[in-house]
Each structure stands twice: as structure tokens, then as C-alpha cells.
Structure 1
């Protein structure tokens, strides 16, 4: 398990881990050896001169004090190492997740990572802080006690030593019986957590459907599965716990019987017999705790194994010798891209010169947004090449590549902070004047003026306290502040009301000025000024040209244009004049 833990955390944590393990082992050995002083203490107390016990009692007290100090030091070392490892695993996990391709983040995996990064990491790290010390003590102290008993009486020592493999076998068999059930329970726990999240997100739909009084069937099923898995896990662990208890008690009884036989035969003194019984009792207690500790350690090992699988997931490969792009033009050269079994693009080619605007239109599901994601290297293509500035995006360093893009998504996510915090994400080192200028160009200043707290207004998690149009303006201001040479726009006005759309459209005009732009749109009036428009369907470009050229062609684009409503007509009708009520 320690090997797995170090593999998850990296070998830079090996030295403090080994130091902590050594300290815990020394503490457990010292505790076991201190019990050897009971023999001379009892021998003196039961002899003719009980006063001779005082020096031995002093030595025993000193040994107990030393063990207490060692126990304190080992526990503190465990807590410190556990805290350090917790911080280390979060850093490594975060760095790794940031390098995984976007396609890896399915809804199921997002829920799994949420559970794993929360209770999974904490449970795994609690092994170091809380469980590793007791486990080492439960395993090492009894073995040390066996050595002490061997020194007192070889017959009793061999009897106790013969029981060690029996206890180990029972513990091993008990662990094997519960591994599958523990894994099943962990799986059901993750599924139930995902269903709880789904139930919370589904509240608007459930309430709109008038189902507020009904139970959510999928969640109920998941909770029932958790209940069944928990019952099976408990029942699987019961034979091992009972078997371990019976084995330890039987060994203690056998030692007691053998000790009484030796004492009655004159082969063992009363002091030695009492010492052996005390030692056997001290041996039994930690052995009995192994069942509980073993279950917790197996659960922690399961979390570590899942973390190990996640950290072994291959990220997008990085170029050994990154190349700087020469310019800001973009090109898709015979690009083929598959998502699962579905071929999204098949030999697609299109290029855009520095400073031009390319608009991508087409039916839903044609892969328009995927085209932007390939350009930003959220995925790698299966064949062909995507270039920025004449360089394959796979040969450009990640930070250099992302510095080329200002991206405005359809669904804007804002971090829980103020409006200014979210705008400054575009360029944290920007001056106040630059931030205000970006806000003005994005028409965000209109929003800030009517908010009581102005720039200090908290946006809430995901930007929940702002409307869709307001979130979009924050996103555009952030992109303007970044001042990247290439702008990627993904359906930025598709879900806005006419007033918000007009404001956002004006902000977009500032954003795209003088930059290379690739935009995806359903509302075709937003792309009439594009230098080139491509109509994508069936994994290929079926039409290409300017707005006027495509209208004259009378093909798919022209058909879409005829169905596009005129935004100038999207004004609310005046309220009807009703006759007075008599």
C-alpha cells in the first residue's frame, strides 16, 4: 500500500514517508520491549524483599514516559506528513486534470472526479494521519511481545509464535472476502452521489412538470443499491471479524492453559506467569483491532487505486521542442476527427489569413463548436493537421497556444467572486484603466452602473446572480482585456433577448476588430460581415464563400437565411387598448 501511495504522490514524498514509518516502528518496538520490565517488577514484589521493586518500577516508569514521547512524536509526524501529502495530491491531481483532453470529461467522470477529489482524497490521506500509526502498532507491538515471551520462557514463546501465522491467515482471508464488496459499495456510493447532483439540477424540470411531490426514481434506485451494497459489505466482513476474535481468544486460552501447566510443574515462576498473561493480553488487544483497521485500510487503498488510475490517464502529449507560431492565421488541413464511434469531420480543409473573419454555420450536430475546440487543442485530431501561425498546434507549447486565443463561449461560467475579479482573469496584471476600458468596450459599464455594489458585486457560483446577457458581457470584457490575436466565438448571442443581444453584438464588434476571428453562429445576421462563411454538414464543408456569394448560390446557406428572422422586427408589439370596465 505504501508503494501505491508513493506512486500516487510521486517519489519526492518518499523520504518523509519512510522517516515517519521508521519512527512509528521504533515506537511500537519500544512499547513492546518496555513490557519486559514487568518480570523483574513482579519478581521483586512477590519475593521476600518487595522494596527491591522500586528501581525496577522507576525504570518501568521511565520506559513508559519514553514510549509516550515517541508516541507523541510519531503521531505528530504522521499528521504533518498527512497534511503535506494531502496538499501534494491536490496539486498533482489539479495539474493532471488541467492537461487531460476535454473529451475525457463526460458527465459520469465529472461526478466521479468530484467524489474522488473530495471524500476520496481525504479518506486516502487519513491513512497517514490517523490509521497508519495504529496499524503499525497493532502489527509490530505483538511481534515484539512474542520476542519478549520467548526470552521469558521458550515453550510459551513458541506457543504464541505458532499462533502468528494463524492470525495472519484469518486476517488475509477476511480481507479477500470483503474486497469485492467494498469495491461494489464504493461504486454505488459514487453513483448515488451523481444521482443526488442530478436530482438537484433537475428541480426546475421536475417542478415545471408538476412532479414536486413525487420521489425521483433514479435517485431512489441508487440509494437502494447503496443500502444493499452496504448490507452485503457488512455481512462479508462479519465472518472475518468473528473468526479473528475467536482465533485470538483461543490462542489466549491456550497460552493461559500452557502457562498454568508449566507453573504447576515447577517450570515457570508465578512472576513470569503473570508477566506472560499481561503480555498475552497486551498482544490480544491490538490483534483484535486489526479487523477494524484492516477494513478502513482496504477502503483507503481502494481510493488510492482509483486515484492511481486517474493519474495514469494519458494527457495530451506535449512537444519536446515547442515551436513559436509565425503569425495568427489558422488552417485545417484534411482534418479527420472521431468522437467515439461517430466521425465528426472527414477530410475537412479550410484556411484563414491573419486578421480575417471566418464564420462557421450549419445544422445542429454538424460539429461547429468542435471545430473551435480542435483549434484550441481541447482534442487532438485523428488525421490531418490543425495549424496556428503556420505551426501544427501539437508542436506549440500549451501556454503559448492558449495565449493566442480569446474565447467567448455560449455558456459562460463565472467564478464565485466579484465582477472585477472575473474580468481580471483575462489579464491579472492589467491596470485599473485597462480594466475599465475593456468593460466600456464590452458595454459592461452599463451593467455596473445600475448595480448597488458596482465592480464589487459578487456574481455567485457560475455567475448565478447575473443574467445571461450580463454574464456574456463579463466574458467579452475578459476577452478584450486579454487582448489575444485570435478570437473564438461560440454562439454568443443564441440565447439572449433582443436588447441583450444588441448590446452583446456591439461588444463583439469591438472584440473582433483587427483580429483573426473564427465564430460559430445560428443567427446568420451576426455573420454577414465575415470575410468567409463555411457551411458544415456531414463532416465536410458543403458550401463556402461570402454572405452575398452564398445567397446568389441559392444552396443550403440561402435556405437557412430565408428561415432566419429579421432581428430588426424583433420588437415588442404595443399593448392593446382595452375598453373601460363598466
Structure 2
């Protein structure tokens, strides 16, 4: 609403709202009209069934052509059978309309086959990550093309590149949210397909750009990282994530309910709680997807301190646009058009004067931009 108001689009927005309400009303009217007559016929069919069954059954019973227990059986089961048939026909009629198609889509989603699980369960002894000739398409659109790289154990690798290059896809493939079209994704030398999904996700923590918190207490949102954690362990994770102080200032402290998606907290506070959750989980592999984007300087400082605690002795993949934050990464991978275009340290990539150098120049130009005084003419 503030956006609509500030751009003087109130009349236009209200018009669109009226059109949406009218469209919704018209669709509901069409559904009612198209199903009223069939519903009446179904009800009539049910009632006629009983009207025919009772006199006929009674006639046959009085003429000793039908046993009493058989007659009673039909009298009891006929209404249930007729009602079941009516419900099936009613469902069929409704699924022919738009609302029914929505039900069909939900049913199709529920019937989606899960990713196949391995018969055994590979045991990991180290946690390096390797992509070997990986290709992946989303809805027939190629996203990754023959990508190969390795992230050494207990090191920090940054993944950079233009928007839409496939950076988040790489994170999703490591966690096996999807399976690759070809090639292999390995952790600790084991193909992720050979690791049971529950076990794989125990090895990985992900700090997303969009933080998902639940309409529950702060305590339970952090404890989501490890359900069996004690209260003291939750407090320690919160302190490490630099969010203990602001949590204590909330009306009920750790027992404060924070609203859907953490609506009662600022963006920085939500991000720090998500990092506390990852610290509590204590997984050997950490993936950070634009974790500090859109934060003000104060919150960014707190989040950076929390991240420093999070990544200690972990295998870390950082996806980021703010290049000045990853100049100290052990390895930087530059992704372009689904391929690894460049790799190396910050200094090496700058010296190569390729895509990374152009991204760096754009980043520094944007960072140094400022409003300039414009003299009145």
C-alpha cells in the first residue's frame, strides 16, 4: 500500500482490486450455475433410489422372495452407496472448473515422487565438496553446463557472477534439493546420491538470503537447528550469533513469539537468529546465500561477527554480490552462463583482467558513488 500511495496509483490500484473482486464473483457464480442442476439431479437420484428400494424390497419380502436379513442389508447400505456415488460425481463436476483445477494441482504435488534413496548409507570422514562435469536444467532451460570445481575441506570458497548465472542452483545441488542431469556432486568423495537425504542434510547448514522464521518463540526458532538442544546451548548459540542482547530486550525474552516470518523483528535481527540456528546445528558444511544483503551498516557488522563464529573449521561456500566481503576467501569461483569462467584468489583474478575484474570495477564504482551538488542554473 505505501508503494501504491507514493507513486500516486491509488485510483489505479483500487480499480485493479475492483476488477479482481468482480472476476472472483463472476467465477463463483459460474461454478454455482454450472453445478446447481447436476447437484439437484444427484440428490433426486439418491432419494429415488430409496423410494424404489423400500417398496420393492417390502413387496419381495411379503411374497417370501427376499429374506429379512437381505432386505435389512440393502436398506442399511443403499443410502451410504448412493451418497458415495453422489460425492464422486460432485467431485468430478467441480474438478472441471478453475477451482477444481487447483485441487488437481495440489493432488499432483502430493503425488510427486520423492528423490530416490540409496539402499545403503555412505559414511563421511571428510567434507570437501566436488562438482565433476555437472550439468543441470530447470524446465528444459540449461542452468549449469559441464561445471567442475573442488572446495577443500575447512576452507572458504566464494561463488560470484552475474545474476542468473546459476550460483544458487549450485547450493541447491549440494544439498540435493534436486538431482543433476549429468555429472556428479560429491561430499567427502561420496556422491550425494549415495547418502541418505536425512544424513546429508545433517552435514549441511544453509543461511538463506530470505530468512524463514516461524510464528513461534525465539527459543524454538533457534532450537530448530537441533531439537534436542538444551536451553543453555540455545543461549550459547545466540551469544555467538550476536543476538542474545536484543533477544533479552524483547518483552518475554527468549519466550517472545516473533510472528509469521519473524514479522516483529528487523531484517538484521532475523538474519542473526537464522545464523544462531546454524551455529546450534554445528554442521561441517556451511552454505551462505547472500546472507548480508539489504542490511544496514550496524546490523551488517553484527552479522559479520556472527558469520565469523559460524564458519570456524567448516567447509564454507559463500554466494555473494558484495565482492569486498570475500577478498580474503581461499578460492573464488566466477560463474558465467552456467560455466566456471575463472577461479583463483582475489589478487590473481584481478590480475587476469577478465570477468571478475569487470565485476570488481563495477562494485567499487557503485560503492564509491555519491550524490553530487548540482548548481542551480
Into which bin does the TM-score normalised by the smaller protein fall? 0.7 to 0.9
Number of the residue aligned with 1:549:
348
Q: Is the 8 A contact 1:498 1:567 kept in 2?
A: no
Residues 568, 450 of structure 1: CA spacing in aligned structure 2 closer, same or farther, 3 A cutoff?
Answer: farther
Q: Is the 8 A contact 2:39 2:90 kept in 1?
A: no
Number of the residue aligned with 1:21:
none
1:383 is matched with which residue: 166, 169, 182?
A: 182
Gaps spanning 5+ residues in structure 1: where?
A: 1-202, 260-271, 573-582
Residues 239, 417 of structure 1: CA spacing in aligned structure 2 closer, same or farther, 3 A cutoff?
Answer: closer
Deviations 1:94-147 (A, max 9, x none): xxxxxxxxxxxxxxxxxxxxxxxxxxxxxxxxxxxxxxxxxxxxxxxxxxxxxx
Q: Is the 8 A contact 2:342 2:349 kept in 1?
A: yes
Q: Is the 8 A contact 2:240 2:309 kept in 1?
A: yes
Deviations 1:223-251 (A, max 9, x none): 42232122111123334544665687688
C-alpha distance in 2 between matches for 1:284 and 1:569: 85
TM-score where L is the length of structure 1: 0.54
Number of the residue aligned with 1:320:
119
Q: Is the 8 A contact 2:42 2:86 kept in 1?
A: no
1:400 is matched with which residue: 196, 199, 213?
A: 199
2:133 is matched with which residue: 318, 331, 334?
A: 334
Report the CA distance between 1:554 and its aligned residue.
1.6
Deviations 1:28-73 (A, max 9, x none): xxxxxxxxxxxxxxxxxxxxxxxxxxxxxxxxxxxxxxxxxxxxxx
C-alpha distance in 2 between matches for 1:553 and 1:527: 17
Deviations 1:337-370 (A, max 9, x none): 0001210001000001111111111111111111
| More contact order relative to length (CA 8 Å, sep ≥ 6) | 2
Alignment of 1:487-566 (within 5 A): 487-565=286-364
Matched, 1:346 2:145: yes
C-alpha distance in 2 between matches for 1:235 and 1:517: 63
Number of the residue aligned with 2:36:
234
C-alpha distance in 2 between matches for 1:412 and 1:536: 24
SS at match of 2:14: coil
1:295 is matched with which residue: 86, 95, 110?
A: 86
Residues 230, 327 of structure 1: CA spacing in aligned structure 2 closer, same or farther, 3 A cutoff?
Answer: same
SS at match of 2:15: coil
1:422 is matched with which residue: 221, 237, 248?
A: 221
Of Structure 1 and Structure 2, the greater strand share is in 2
Number of the residue aligned with 1:577:
none
Matched, 1:372 2:163: no
Gaps spanning 5+ residues in structure 2: where?
A: 372-377
Of Structure 1 and Structure 2, the greater helix share is in 1
Q: Is the 8 A contact 1:357 1:531 kept in 2?
A: yes
C-alpha distance in 1 between matches for 2:178 and 2:256: 36
C-alpha distance in 1 between matches for 2:282 and 2:366: 29
Residues 562, 237 of structure 1: CA spacing in aligned structure 2 closer, same or farther, 3 A cutoff?
Answer: same
Alignment of 1:147-158 (within 5 A): none
Residues 284, 333 of structure 1: CA spacing in aligned structure 2 closer, same or farther, 3 A cutoff?
Answer: closer
Alignment of 1:202-213 (within 5 A): 209-210=9-10, 211=12, 213=14
Number of the residue aligned with 1:450:
249
Q: Is the 8 A contact 2:155 2:314 kept in 1?
A: yes
Report the CA distance between 1:319 and its aligned residue.
0.3
Report the CA distance between 1:294 and its aligned residue.
3.6
C-alpha distance in 2 between matches for 1:415 and 1:242: 48
C-alpha distance in 1 between matches for 2:127 and 2:305: 24
Report the CA distance between 1:485 and its aligned residue.
0.8
Residues 299, 393 of structure 1: CA spacing in aligned structure 2 closer, same or farther, 3 A cutoff?
Answer: farther
SS at match of 1:354: coil
Report the CA distance between 1:308 and its aligned residue.
6.8
C-alpha distance in 1 between matches for 2:208 and 2:16: 35
Q: Is the 8 A contact 1:324 1:400 kept in 2?
A: no
1:214 is matched with which residue: 15, 25, 29?
A: 15
Alignment of 1:65-84 (within 5 A): none
Which of these two proteins has the greater Rg computed from alpha carbons?
1
Alignment of 1:107-256 (within 5 A): 209-210=9-10, 211=12, 213-216=14-17, 217-218=19-20, 220-242=22-44
Residues 464, 570 of structure 1: CA spacing in aligned structure 2 closer, same or farther, 3 A cutoff?
Answer: farther
TM-score where L is the length of structure 2: 0.81
Report the CA distance between 1:221 and its aligned residue.
2.5
SS at match of 1:488: strand
SS at match of 2:342: strand
Report the CA distance between 1:432 and its aligned residue.
3.5
SS at match of 2:143: strand
Deviations 1:60-98 (A, max 9, x none): xxxxxxxxxxxxxxxxxxxxxxxxxxxxxxxxxxxxxxx
Residues 484, 251 of structure 1: CA spacing in aligned structure 2 closer, same or farther, 3 A cutoff?
Answer: closer
Number of the residue aligned with 1:161:
none
